[in-house]
Homo-oligomer: A and B are copies of this chain.
């Protein structure tokens, strides 16, 4: 995403944060020489050395705004990214999207096999909760983080959105239905990332919480709108995943539902909404504002 970063301090913060997250993931994943070695190797293949780490960046941006301890942010960021990584592994499987390319590499079931991909996803999900349950600090606030992550992952969150997505192949959705689907499919986990960052501080006022929720909702949806735009406008090599897939699979997207121009206007509206949501935080959430810009203005 670096090409769309104009603020040099942001670029440096991102690079440093991505390195911290990579290190945290590396540490929490079992080593590849621990039995069962093939499973552990495949888990590391699925998670490490790729991805923009948008969710971890949101965790850190929100957490730093409220002075959350770094060790807890590392755990929260790793947990959210592990959930995201597991969902990609399962989504790419033949019985789902049947995709061969992810983050510029062969997908897990191609590189290994279907059974391994299934177990990799399952084990990464367990690891996410294991990782977060060991975040340290105040147990009540860790529990609150766990509750949020579990709900965001399940049938009323990401997995539920995936089920609606599957059911809508070849179906013409209205803009409201499309939004409802994406609020679950990608929005729930992106929102959870923001909220886990805030909750990691252990001390979030009702006002701050509401501001973060509102920001997270706007950014979560904006991310998907931009994804749909990029799927049409960008080539496979730049994306690192198969471009034009949604149209090919006859899946409803913002572009197919609203058209390209209206989708771009919506993304811009959501970006402004994210900024407005941060107003009550009176400047302490600079990074969150910058990430909203980045998510909407990114080129891949």
Which residues of A are in contact with B by a Cβ distance under 8 Å? 30, 34-36, 38-40, 43, 86-87, 90, 93, 95-96, 113-116, 118-119, 121-123, 125-127, 129-130, 133-134, 139-140, 142-143, 146-147, 150-151, 153-157, 159-160, 162-164, 166-167
Contacts and interface: CB of A to CB of B under 8 A. Distances in A.
Given A39-B163, A96-B115, 15 more contacts: A38-B163, A38-B167, A40-B155, A43-B155, A87-B122, A90-B118, A116-B166, A118-B118, A126-B150, A126-B153, A126-B159, A127-B154, A129-B146, A139-B143, A146-B146
With a 10 A CB-CB cut-off, give which of A35, A127, A129, A156 has the most chain B CB atoms. A129
A127 B157 CA distance: 11
Contacts of A155: 30, 36, 39-40, 43, 119, 123, 126-127
Number of copies: 2
A38 B143 CA distance: 30
Contacts of A157: 126
A23 to B, nearest CB: 20
A36 B155 CA distance: 8
B96 A118 contact: yes
A125 B122 CA distance: 8
B143 A133 contact: yes
A129 B115 contact: no
A147 B75 CA distance: 14
